[in-house]
Structure 1
Amino acid sequence: MPEMKTRWDIFCTVVDNFGDIGVTWRLARQLVTEHGLAVRLWVDDLRAFERLCPEIDIDAVQQWQHDVDVRQWPAEWQPTEAADVVIAAFACQLPSAYMDAMVEREKPPLWMNLDYLSAEDWVIGCHGLPSVKYKSVQKFFFFPGFQKGTGGLLRERGLLERRRQFQQDLQAQREFLQGMGIDPAPGAQLISLFAYENSGLASWLDAMAGDSTATHLLVPEGRILGDVERWLGVQGLAAGAVHVRDALTVQVLPFVRQDQYDRLLWCCDFNAVRGEDSFVRAQWAGRPFLWHIYRQEEDIHLDKLEAFLELYVKGLSAPAREAISGLWRAWNAGEKIADHWQLTRKHWPELEKHAEAWCQEQALQADLATALVQFYGNWI
């Protein structure tokens, strides 16, 4: 008889952005395609999911997408047999009836809390440790991370090879951009902007508009559009809109599926990203980038920002280190960043080389999906 596939349940609560579902959707697909697992992905907001996977039926209780069993997480939970491995993404609370089903299994499942990504030192000490217990079922901490002793980052098999081939193929890049209606002027630098609301944006747009180098700014639909509208003096910006001011062309893009967004990042010279999912994908793009971290109460997100910067800038010259760090700090404080941007531009070749080196360094670690599977293998 063929061996039964190990069954995994991933639970995702969509908070107020796309990072939660973005991460869990990538993870679920990779566990199926690369590790041959049977995965159910429980999601409480299929409308947010639809932005990443347009073929989703937002009314379906159960459906198959990319060989993942997608389930609507209902308000009224129905009796469901617990899986062999249970992942509560980002500390979401499992249904109490499901937790009882975990207890009722002859062999308790491996129960993990897949936590938020952080570069803070304490993560290494907590990764893989037991957390709370529910009756006979033990939960474990599982932390993605950038250093040895963590769970690593989401990275599909062959991703960097595909990226490298794409970046070396100018015709493939042109065709991709044309397919999205993007036609940058010859010699224009291409920048993507995906961010939360930011009062520092106007100064950056002023700097790009007044630059001697042309810039084509690609803005996927999202929360930053209001700030772009105010700077342009227009209302109702939507996908397809193109506005030119001096050396700056601003183009609004539709929200795209994840593989398209990856290629968009690969095409750009610089990427402004936000949250967790796009933050990781910008690093795999091997290009200089700017992170808008998700704001948390009492500014504890700034500790995470500093922890990442401390790791990321190692190996840079002191001037380049100060330039990129200053840009990131000002952007996340909502301050004017024009001067920081100009300073960063002075160190462009070094920052480009460093971005690729950082990418290759991170690729030496096991990817997150593989690390989860290995953790389960060690546990049993």
Structure 2
Amino acid sequence: MLSRSPAPSLLTVLSSAPMTTRPDWDVFCKVIDNFGDIGVCWRLARQLANEYAASVRLWVDDLDSFRLLCPQRDPALSIECVQGVEVRRWESLFTAVTPARVVLESFACRIPENFVDRMAQLSPPPLWINLDYLSAEAWVSGCHLLPSPHAHLPLVKYFFFPGFTTDTGGLLRERDLRTRRRCFAASTDLQNDWWRALGSAAPRAGTLLVSLFAYENTAIGDLLHAWEVSGRPVCCLAPCSRTLPAIAAYAGRALAAGDRLQRGALEIRILPFVEQLRYDSLLWLCDLNFVRGEDSFVRAQWAARPLVWQIYPQQEAAHLIKLDAFLARYCAMLPQATAVVLCEFWQAWNAGRVETAQWQQLAASLPLLHEHALRWEARLAAQDDLVKQLVRFSASRL
């Protein structure tokens, strides 16, 4: 799921004609986990095009998943210019094209060999960058920007690591993101417009507003039961995603976008899939955001609201090392008691079992966690964003 250009025409399809000159950037993306990888790449490609006037080709192997993020796409077209980016279907039999000046493969997706061969035939060759996954682990800074010469061709690949410190590649953030968030938070009209566009009304004052976006998780039922007996009303906004079967099991009936369920102190509203532009507003609106993977995780941090992260599960629980590494950084500025509450809840959520008492402790900590989220966001915003660093690095090598 998961930016917005100041121009209202951002949501329009600009052209279906391919680029006629060599582009500045080729961005390759394999859709592995529904929306996470393509969510990052789509934001990155748009930012390059809209903030740096770069010509960008985005190669995507699964245009059906991509269409949910960008409903304006015509699924019948394998080449289409949308929001300033040329989007191309990444076919198994790869098209013979001239590589861009910068070639970015996302998340070790392994670009086609015949394309790599064409890269080697150019003089000078393109700058080749592998954009890796986000991690807070200490080793990341030591590997950021390391070169890796090709075994047989006169090419060098550079590893580019997003991160939370100044010695990493930073995080995706559009130039106007913080301004848009502040305007939204200060404007009742903008918030009411968001609810009207959803065909709904804001819950009554005093309700705890929570967004729920997660992978399959056996703790979802635990959480819903805890909210049902909460002393404070809870409104859960759940976009249609992999959480739906667990919510339906709790409801005892099938659910679809537009459905509502009231049980005790809990109201559940099932939202349609929320595209990126409106998902940011959802995060800004809520008091607490449950997020997953990488794209929504980063956006939740820019929302400056308390969050709960479900990290992408890996074999042999390797993901829990990454979870703990982020928690160590994120909680470093928290009072110890609050840090313990947050860590225990995140770990329980990722383990698939949440006790009602754990939720009650987290709920009681939300005022402190909100203040902390504001400080954390400001600290991250003092660093250069990911695309700015990519553009600066490419300029230094070309």
The alignment's TM-score, normalised by the length of structure 1, stands at 0.97
Unaligned runs of 5+ in 1: none
Q: Which amino acid aligns with 1:210?
A: V
Question: What is the Cα deviation at residue 132 of structure 1?
Answer: 4.4
Alpha-carbon distance change, 141 to 337 in structure 1, aligned in 2, over 3 angstroms: farther
Alignment counterpart, residue 108 of structure 2, candidates 76, 91, 99: 91
Q: Which amino acid aligns with 2:374?
A: E
Q: Secondary structure at the match of 2:396?
A: helix
Q: Secondary structure at the match of 2:135?
A: coil
Q: Secondary structure at the match of 2:168?
A: coil
Alignment counterpart, residue 214 of structure 1, candidates 233, 253, 258: 233
Over the matched positions of the two proteins, sequence identity in percent amounts to 47
Q: Secondary structure at the match of 2:248?
A: helix
Q: Secondary structure at the match of 2:320?
A: helix
Aligned to 1:53: 70
| Distance in 2 between residues matched to 1:36 and 1:56, nearest whole Å | 21
| Distance in 1 between residues matched to 2:228 and 2:27, nearest whole Å | 45
Alignment counterpart, residue 157 of structure 1, candidates 175, 182, 187: 175
Is the contact made by 1:195 and 1:222 (CA closer than 8 Å) also made in structure 2? Answer: yes
Aligned to 1:40: 57
How does 1:287-326 map onto structure 2 within 5 Å?
Answer: 287-326=305-344
| Distance in 2 between residues matched to 1:304 and 1:337, nearest whole Å | 23
Aligned to 1:277: 295
| Distance in 2 between residues matched to 1:328 and 1:337, nearest whole Å | 12
Question: What is the Cα deviation at residue 161 of structure 1?
Answer: 1.3
Aligned to 1:65: 82
Moved more, 111-120 or 130-139: 130-139
| Distance in 2 between residues matched to 1:252 and 1:222, nearest whole Å | 10
Question: What is the Cα deviation at residue 232 of structure 1?
Answer: 1.1
| Distance in 2 between residues matched to 1:263 and 1:270, nearest whole Å | 13
Q: Which amino acid aligns with 1:152?
A: G
Question: What is the Cα deviation at residue 5 of structure 1?
Answer: 8.5
Aligned to 2:27: 10
Unaligned runs of 5+ in 2: 1-20
| Distance in 2 between residues matched to 1:377 and 1:189, nearest whole Å | 47
Q: Which amino acid aligns with 1:199?
A: T
| Distance in 2 between residues matched to 1:194 and 1:280, nearest whole Å | 13
Q: Secondary structure at the match of 2:57?
A: strand
Aligned to 2:15: none
Q: Deviations over 1:203-225 (max 9, x none)?
A: 21111111121111000011011
Is the contact made by 1:192 and 1:270 (CA closer than 8 Å) also made in structure 2? Answer: yes
| Distance in 2 between residues matched to 1:358 and 1:186, nearest whole Å | 27
> What is the root-mean-square deviation of aligned Cα atoms in Å?
1.2
Alignment counterpart, residue 264 of structure 1, candidates 258, 279, 282: 282
How does 1:169-208 map onto structure 2 within 5 Å?
Answer: 169-183=187-201, 184-208=203-227
Q: Secondary structure at the match of 2:333?
A: coil
Aligned to 1:113: 130
Q: Secondary structure at the match of 1:300?
A: helix
Q: Which amino acid aligns with 1:67?
A: G
| Distance in 2 between residues matched to 1:347 and 1:238, nearest whole Å | 32
Q: Secondary structure at the match of 1:166?
A: helix
Question: What is the Cα deviation at residue 13 of structure 1?
Answer: 0.4
Q: Which amino acid aligns with 1:85?
A: V
Q: Which amino acid aligns with 1:34?
A: E
Find runs of 4+ consecutive structure 1 residues off by over 4 angstroms: none
Alpha-carbon distance change, 5 to 74 in structure 1, aligned in 2, over 3 angstroms: closer
Q: Which amino acid aligns with 1:181?
A: G
Aligned to 2:16: none
Aligned to 1:374: 392
Q: Secondary structure at the match of 2:97?
A: coil
Is the contact made by 1:331 and 1:337 (CA closer than 8 Å) also made in structure 2? Answer: no
Q: Secondary structure at the match of 1:347?
A: helix
Q: Secondary structure at the match of 2:150?
A: strand
Q: Which amino acid aligns with 1:189?
A: L
Q: Which amino acid aligns with 2:95?
A: Q
Question: What is the Cα deviation at residue 59 of structure 1?
Answer: 2.6
Aligned to 1:122: 139
Q: Secondary structure at the match of 1:24?
A: helix
Question: What is the Cα deviation at residue 253 of structure 1?
Answer: 0.5
Q: Deviations over 1:160-217 (max 9, x none)?
A: 1110111111231122122212321232111000001111111211111111211110
Q: Which amino acid aligns with 2:188?
A: L
Q: Secondary structure at the match of 1:150?
A: coil
Aligned to 1:353: 371
Q: Which amino acid aligns with 1:282?
A: A
Q: Secondary structure at the match of 1:64?
A: strand
Is the contact made by 1:5 and 1:36 (CA closer than 8 Å) also made in structure 2? Answer: no
| Distance in 2 between residues matched to 1:61 and 1:182, nearest whole Å | 36
Q: Secondary structure at the match of 1:195?
A: coil
Q: Which amino acid aligns with 1:141?
A: F
| Distance in 1 between residues matched to 2:79 and 2:186, nearest whole Å | 41
Alignment counterpart, residue 31 of structure 1, candidates 48, 51, 71: 48
